[in-house]
Amino acid sequence: AQKVTQAQTEISVVEKEDVTLDCVYETRDTTYYLFWYKQPPSGELVFLIRRNSFDEQNEISGRYSWNFQKSTSSFNFTITASQVVDSAVYFCALAQETSGSRLTFGEGTQLTVNP
Amino acid sequence: GAGVSQTPSNKVTEKGKYVELRCDPISGHTALYWYRQSLGQGPEFLIYFQGTGAADDSGLPNDRFFAVRPEGSVSTLKIQRTERGDSAVYLCASSLGLVVNEQFFGPGTRLTVL
């Protein structure tokens, strides 16, 4: 069985604050893949990042960074110096090698960045 | 290039009717997925195609739901005898397939069953 938990339902910050979105996953596979997607108010899911279970290096892309820790089964997402345009629902997702390519999504975190 | 497109963008139907939802994947993507997203929830997997065949249909909720991809490109999700509980946004995604690649999503079809 696979499961993704995003415990934070809603987060509200003021522009320029840093914010971390938590993601905890469960899987019995040793090979799996983790994803983050952004869903702005327009509704279309936008791919942000994909990591496989053998690559624990943290990644930075502009104001975005991801912290993957297998020891705690977590794949957290940090936005530095948040902007109003970052307001969206963010989803963490998991794909197990034994389950093919199907994605299991968390419930999502609604991020609101206020000016 | 063009992204994943879905038609119609909105569909309102009456309980008991039959509906078809269409998905045009990104050109060259061999894998195609259908998900369903209810309000305030994450997307839930329905079915996955690799080429023309359904590689995994374990997410289809019951036999009222069926999907096809006859030529390995466009896919149609078919729902018979619609129920109010079928109301949701139906999302289609495509990827390069073969390995677990990132999936690119379409804008979705909002289905409302009255």
Using DSSP, how many helices (H) and how many strands (E) does chain B show?
0, 11
The tokens for B53 are 């065949």
Per the CB < 8 Å rule, is B43 touching A103?
yes
Q: Would the pLDDT of A100 be above 80?
A: no
Q: Would the pLDDT of A97 be above 70?
A: yes
Q: Which residues of A touch B30 (CB under 8 A)?
A: none
Q: Collect all residues with Cβ–Cβ distance below 8 Å to B62 and sequence separation of at least 6.
A: none
Per the CB < 8 Å rule, is B48 touching A43?
no
* Nearest residue in A to B55, CA atom: A100
Per the CB < 8 Å rule, is A93 touching B97?
no
pLDDT score at A95: 93
Q: Which residues of B touch A93 (CB under 8 A)?
A: 42
DSSP character string of B1-47: ----EEE-SEEEE-TT--EEEEEE--TT--EEEEEEE-TTS--EEEE
The tokens for B25 are 């994947």
Q: Rounded distance, CA A19 to CA B87, Å?
A: 33
- Match 């896919």 to its residue by tokens: B75
Q: What is the pLDDT of residues A16-74, one digit of tens each?
A: 999 999 999 999 999 999 999 999 998 899 999 999 999 888 888 999 999 999 999 99
pLDDT score at A19: 98
∠ at Cα B6 (A89, A44), nearest 5°? 15
Within 13 A of B70's CA, how many CA atoms are on the CB side? 2
Per the CB < 8 Å rule, is B101 touching A43?
no
Share the mean pLDDT of chain B.
94
Within 13 A of B58's CA, how many CA atoms are on the CB side? 8
Give the start-end residues of each E strand in chain A.
Answer: 3-5, 10-14, 19-21, 24-26, 32-39, 46-52, 59-61, 64-69, 74-79, 88-96, 104-105, 109-114
Nearest CA among B67, B11, B7, B9 for reference residue B35: B67
Nearest CA among A78, A77, A80, A85 for reference residue A115: A85
User: At A85, phi and psi to the nearest 5?
Assistant: -70, -10
Q: Which amino acid is at B74?
A: V
Q: Would the pLDDT of B75 be above 90?
A: yes
CB pairs under 8 A between A and B: 64
